[in-house]
Structure 1
Amino acid sequence: MEGNAFSAFAITALRLAGHLTAAGDQLAKPAGQTSARWQVLAAARRGDMSVAQIARALGLARQGVQRLADVLAAEKLIAYADNPQHQRAKLVRLTAEGAARLGVIEVAQAGWADGLGSAFTTAELDAARAVMARVMAMLESDGAAGD
């Protein structure tokens, strides 16, 4: 019985992820970006992460993040900086233009989130987030993915 309920939860989460990505693409479009590029720009704002660290934090493949970072660097939205911890793994830093584009997206996202968020209580959203965080932690632990 719990397996069926979890399967329904997982299917709903996957559908939600698709909708959130599509909404993110629409929010990022006026700044000439996509959801994926937006995530890398936001991570670059920290200034102390390598591509591999950004990929791990986002749960994405390093190669995909590297491709996005290289495009963003070519467009001068991010820059690579020397990493005192690792000679070859450069740090990813947001440029002034990257920060400006990210700002445009974040203003749009804040209004969008306020509109959707007003349909729920904080307790409802916190409970949903807590369940998703527990599932992610279980999947990230050894062997939980059914390997």
Structure 2
Amino acid sequence: MTDSTDSGRALGGLIFETLRLAGRLTLAGDALMAGVGLTAARWQIMGVIAYLPSPRTVSALSRVIGQSRQAVQRIVNDLHTAGLVDLLPNPAHRRAPLVALSDRGQTLYAEAEARRVPWTEALAADIGDHDLKAAQTALSALRRALERREG
């Protein structure tokens, strides 16, 4: 086995904690959104759609969120069946519609946000501004490094 540097060990620890955190966020998201009838996965995709300034294809959504196109497609299909997203014609590609929140989806997402804000505010108060900014900086740098290596 090759010896790791201090930085390599620190990054390994960060990756391990990030994986553990992802699991905890999914569990917490499922619990938080149960009252509005969303899973964490559906809430996450709706959040990306709401955040972006214009409708995007499933492929574009998958790139933004860093998940496979197939996984995002499955969730978008579920959201469409539930009437929470609309599939709009895409002038650039006939077979790849643009995904937008429907009126019903916008209403449900607003309910989800009303639950999320006090939850994230309470968590932020437990952690502290300095640590949150440092964590965001480190995780953003790691994501960018991975994206550069992807090609």
1: CA distance between counterparts of 2:49 and 2:21? Answer: 26
2: CA distance between counterparts of 1:26 and 1:100? Answer: 19
Q: Give unpaired runs (5+ residues) of structure 2.
A: 1-5
How many pairs align?
144
2: CA distance between counterparts of 1:41 and 1:17? Answer: 18
Amino acid at match of 1:120: I
RMSD between aligned residues: 1.6
2: CA distance between counterparts of 1:52 and 1:19? Answer: 26
Deviations 1:77-125 (A, max 9, x none): 1110011222221001111111121111111110100101012332221
1:98 to 102, 105, 117: 105
Q: Give unpaired runs (5+ residues) of structure 1.
A: none
Give secondary structure in 2 for the equivalent of 1:79. Answer: strand
Alignment-derived partner of residue 49 in structure 2? 44
Amino acid at match of 1:3: G
1: CA distance between counterparts of 2:140 and 2:78? Answer: 31
Alignment-derived partner of residue 122 in structure 1? 129
TM-score, normalization by structure 1: 0.90
Alignment-derived partner of residue 22 in structure 1? 27
Amino acid at match of 1:83: N
* Identical columns (%): 32
Alignment-derived partner of residue 5 in structure 1? 10
2: CA distance between counterparts of 1:143 and 1:107? Answer: 36
2: CA distance between counterparts of 1:102 and 1:90? Answer: 21
Alignment-derived partner of residue 3 in structure 2? none
